[in-house]
Amino acid sequence: MSETTTGSVTWLTQDAYDRLKAEYDRLSGEGRSELAKRIEQAREEGDLKENAGYHAAKEEQGKQELRIRQLRHLLETAQVGEAPKSVAGEVTLGAVVTVELAGEEMRFLLGSREMGDGAGLDVYSEKSPLGAAVLGRQPGEDVTYTAPSGRSIPVRIIACEPFTG
């Protein structure tokens, strides 16, 4: 499973698209029905001001509707197939990157969380300070990025390889 974003197009493998579509279908179909039933059952218990079950179900409904909107947007903008081929040895979206950061070796996936689900890797967006600093670079390069605290952090890119899911 793999996903990368180029401009406004999100590249998904068929497997990733199918997995996200199944989640969307479940949440927008039976997931909505189940939550509506839970809300109705909680509503029947009486005073809504002090009904923790009702408030919990309504909060869950809000989170579920947000996820449905996110999935719908992702699926509508998806290009199914293989992402554009990256230049050999260059850190691109969808790459597993190994860096030396603060004297420690760190390995992460450069992409989005949907891309890395179940991969056992930390995922950094290309828009994060670290992701933006390494994107387009090559192993052996030294870069710095500015942490949210304002501190400048040196990073050495050790390796990059395609993410195989």
pLDDT in tens, 4-56: 444 455 667 777 788 889 999 999 999 999 999 988 888 887 777 778 888 88
Question: Beta strands of 24-133 (E only): which ranges?
Answer: 78-80, 95-101, 104-110, 122-124
Rounded-to-integer distance, Cα 139 and Cα 1, Å:
24
- Residue ranges and CATH numbers for the domains of the chain are 3-80 (1.10.287.180), 95-162 (3.10.50.30)
pLDDT computed for residue 120 by the predictor: 75
On average, the pLDDT of the chain sits at: 82
| Contact assessment for residue 27 and residue 75, using Cβ atoms and an 8 Å cutoff | no
DSSP 105-155: EEEEEES-HHHHTTS-SEEE-TTSHHHHHHTT--TT-EEEEE-TTS-EEEE
Rounded-to-integer distance, Cα 83 and Cα 26, Å:
27
Rounded-to-integer distance, Cα 69 and Cα 85, Å:
30
pLDDT computed for residue 32 by the predictor: 92
| Contact assessment for residue 96 and residue 161, using Cβ atoms and an 8 Å cutoff | yes
**pLDDT tens digit sequence for 52-111:** 888 888 899 999 999 999 999 888 887 777 655 555 578 888 788 999 998 899 999 887
Residue 1 scores a pLDDT above 60: no
pLDDT computed for residue 67 by the predictor: 92
User: Quick one: residue 118, left, alpha or beta (phi over 0 = left, psi -120 to 50 = alpha)?
Assistant: left
Rg (CA), the chain: 20
